[in-house]
Amino acid sequence: MDKTSLKDFNGWPEAKSRELVSTLNTSSGWIRSVIAARPFENLTALKTVSEKVWFALPEAEWLEAFEGHPKIGDVNSLKQKYAATRSTAQHEQSSTSVADEAVLHDLKARNDQYLAKFGFIFIVFATGKSAAEMLEILKRRLPNTRDQELTNAAVEQNKITLLRIDKSFQE
């Protein structure tokens, strides 16, 4: 993926900038706020605004962003439902493609339990983690309360968004 110059992004029309920014985080409130905050002096400023906006959003916006992710290990969902973020999500979840079949089945089953319990999918910063590591994180988080998991998922989403910013922009 070619990186976009921050200078170019600052000058783009709203529709063009929305197209790029929506691949970083699918919360419509986050997208609007980040676009409205342009121009950015540097990547640090963009990431600072991103983080500030993200943590100020209401729960509904967080849930909207979570919907923009495939379930970890659910390859069919990855291919069909999330075309806009497919290439970035596939790279972020690349360790699931080489995982043991039993781990993947357990990961899917526990993802389903998580969704049923909390009402949103399991969000984890998957970069650099094996499927077995993600499964262990999921097992540790399943006993949490919904409020704890909403916060955990928001923190993980922020990490994902910041990584996507780094991969998408250059100064």
> Which amino acids are annotated catalytic?
69
- Take residue 43 and report the two structure tokens written for it: 């990547």
Contact between 125 and 163 under an 8 Å Cβ cutoff? The reply is yes
Residue 145 CA to its chain's centroid (Å): 21
What is the secondary structure of 1-12 as a DSSP string? -PPEEHHHHHHS
Contacts of 112 (CB under 8 A, 6+ apart): none
Identify residue 49 by its one-letter amino acid code: V
Alpha helix stretches (DSSP H) within the chain: 6-11, 14-21, 28-36, 43-56, 59-67, 75-80, 86-92, 101-118, 131-141, 146-168
